[in-house]
Structure 1
Amino acid sequence: MRHEIILNGMVITTDNSAAIGQKRLDAVKAPDPITAKFAARVALLEQWAAGSEPQAVLLHNFSGAEHWEPYVAGIEELFYEAGLPKPSISGSSETNMQTLQSALAVTMIGRQEGEREESNLEWVVYGEPLTGKDVLENPAKIADLKKLNDLMKRKLIHRIWPVGSKGIAAEVDLMLNRTIKVLEKGPDLLASGGPATSVLLGTMPQNTKTVMDFLESPVYPVYFDKI
């Protein structure tokens, strides 16, 4: 379990974004499609973490009616880039009150296809933990969803776990109740992962090298302190 809700085999995941967009008082300036795409990215990765594929998307738009279409375009772009069919997208917009900063939330509903957990997995970190402007300025350091989808289809990765705002070390502790070693040439284990720019991947030992070679950089093996 991460942050999803599971009801009768249906998985519900969500993420939100605030003060990121094109309004004058936004803390981080970004095009609306990019803002929505990265909010949807987190919800999608949490679907995958639960062994689910999204069937429908709800968009909660607090920025105003004129932002709806750009937000939808960003969500659709995410599914295209991940190599997934475009789901139904619905939701609502705040049109009565004008907000000074951008805000939205993306909720995904999927059907659980089975737990992707197996014993004796080896783990790697794929992508660098980034947040704010660093996300926009370092696209080559962000985990590629199309590559992850390809590896899942080939059954070369058995678990996906997105890295959130508390960083890699906190996610390893939450997921495995273990302590990750500090890596000399790896990412900062305490840095915020922002909109899940990095992920933890569980593979069978015989597949680890194949997975790392396919993903290329930035990907790092995970080593644990002794229990």
Structure 2
Amino acid sequence: MSDLADRLRTGPPWAVHTERDLTYFRVGADEIVVIACDSDGGLGPKPNDAVPVEGPTLGRFAARVPLLEIVAAGATPVVVVDTLTVERDPTGQPIIDGVLAEAADAGVPSEAVTGSTEDNVPTVATGIGVTVVARATFETLRVGVGRPPFEVVLFGRPMSAPADIFGPDHPDILTVPALAAVLAFDGVVEALPIGSSGVSNEFVAMARTAGGTPEMNDDWPCDRDQSGGPSTAALLAVTPDRLAEVLHRLTDTGRPAWHLGRVV
């Protein structure tokens, strides 16, 4: 059992716990609520946005980040909430359409997607926050279940705008269905989506949660501080005896995968 699971099981119901930017609380003997959120500002179609992004693309990436975090945690998304700082028409609806599309990919029906727009005050730049509420059990919870020694694999290519140009359907980046499929591979025990803190920082965070020491290979396919932007890649904790098989299966998905090192 992971440290997080132990705290959830032994603590009182509704006591709030945090781990890796997610919030957890137990509501029954074996029912856990998991909450993830993310925000974007200055990206979008408004005249003062620093990075021009089409509405549907913004909505998909804004929803994808917390959805990936939820799936990596071993939870099932139940509700998606989008809060926009722009008017619904004409700017907001295309963003909402992107959120709805990403939610559908994660198995969340449109009636379980809700939110709000800013229709009282004119805005000149775009902002959006997305919150995902999910459910898990002690059997499905994956955060911190990896125990040293295990191998660390990078799945997907870490990219971040504006240095990198990519869309939500870029063949090298992570998607919610792709991560869910990989977590079912024999030997993959845990996943950690890579955010703006960079690949090596997430590697260290994975080791810290596991109570181990990170050992990084010398040869990496990217800079160690490369941002994952909207979680375009993830770290996978893989049992040593399954490393070769997992790398082969990851390559068969069409997305890149590299062995970065291990946690001991």
Does the alignment pair 1:174 with 2:174? no
1:115 equivalenced with 2:150 (yes/no): no
1:172, 1:180 within 8 Å by CA — same for their partners in 2?
Answer: no
Secondary structure of the residue aligned to 2:177 is helix
2:43 to 13, 17, 20: 20
How far the C-alpha of 1:47 sits from its partner, in A, is 0.8
What residue ranges of structure 2 are gaps of 5+ in the alignment?
1-18, 27-31
1:184/1:121 CA distance change after superposition, 3 Å: closer
Change (3 A) 1:3 1:70: same
1:94 correspondence with 2:118: yes
Count of residues in correspondence between the two structures: 225
State TM-score, norm by structure 1.
Answer: 0.88
Q: Pick from 151, 172, 183: which aligns with 1:152?
A: 183
Sort the Cα spacing of 1:154 and 1:182 in 2 relative to 1 into closer, same or farther, 3 A.
closer
Instruction: Tell me the equivalent position of 1:68.
Output: 92
Deviation at 1:166, TM superposition (A): 1.1
Which amino acid is 2:192 matched to? W
Pair 90,110 (structure 1): closer, same or farther in 2 beyond 3 Å? same
Identify the match of residue 104 of structure 1 among 125, 128, 141: 128
Q: Which residue is equivalent to 1:209?
A: 244
Distance 1:215 1:77, change over 3 A: farther
Equivalent position SS for 1:125:
strand
Offset at 1:210?
Answer: 3.1
Q: CA deviation at 1:145?
A: 3.0
Quote the Cα distance in structure 2 between the aligned partners of 1:171 and 1:199: 9
3-state DSSP of counterpart to 2:128: strand
Instruction: Supply the distance in 2 between the matched residues of 1:214 and 1:80 (Cα, whole angstroms).
Output: 26
CA contact (8 A) 1:135 1:197 kept: no
Q: Any stretches of 5+ residues in structure 1 without a counterpart?
A: none
Q: 1:186 aligns with which of 221, 225, 228?
A: 221
> Aligned with 2:258: secondary structure?
strand
Asked whether the 8 Å contact 2:186–2:242 carries over to 1, the reply is no
Greater C-alpha Rg? 2
Distance 2:239 2:153 in 1: 11
Aligned equivalent of 1:11: 34
- 1:118-146 superposed Cα distances (whole Å, 9 cap, x missing partner): 32432200122211141526923312432
Task: Return the offset for 1:203.
Answer: 2.3
Over 3 Å counting, the alpha-carbon distance change for 1:85 and 1:58 in structure 2 is closer
Establish whether residue 136 from structure 1 lines up as the match of residue 166 from structure 2. Answer: yes
Contact 2:82 2:99 in 1 (8 A): no
Equivalent residue letter for 1:118: G
| TM-superposed deviation, 1:80 | 4.2
Q: Which moved more, 1:68-77 or 1:13-22?
A: 68-77
TM-score normalised over the length of structure 2: 0.77
Residue 46 of structure 1: CA displacement? 1.3
Tell me if the contact between 2:150 and 2:262 (Cα under 8 Å) persists in the aligned partners.
Answer: no
Coordinate RMSD, CA, aligned = 2.3
Identity of aligned residues (%): 27
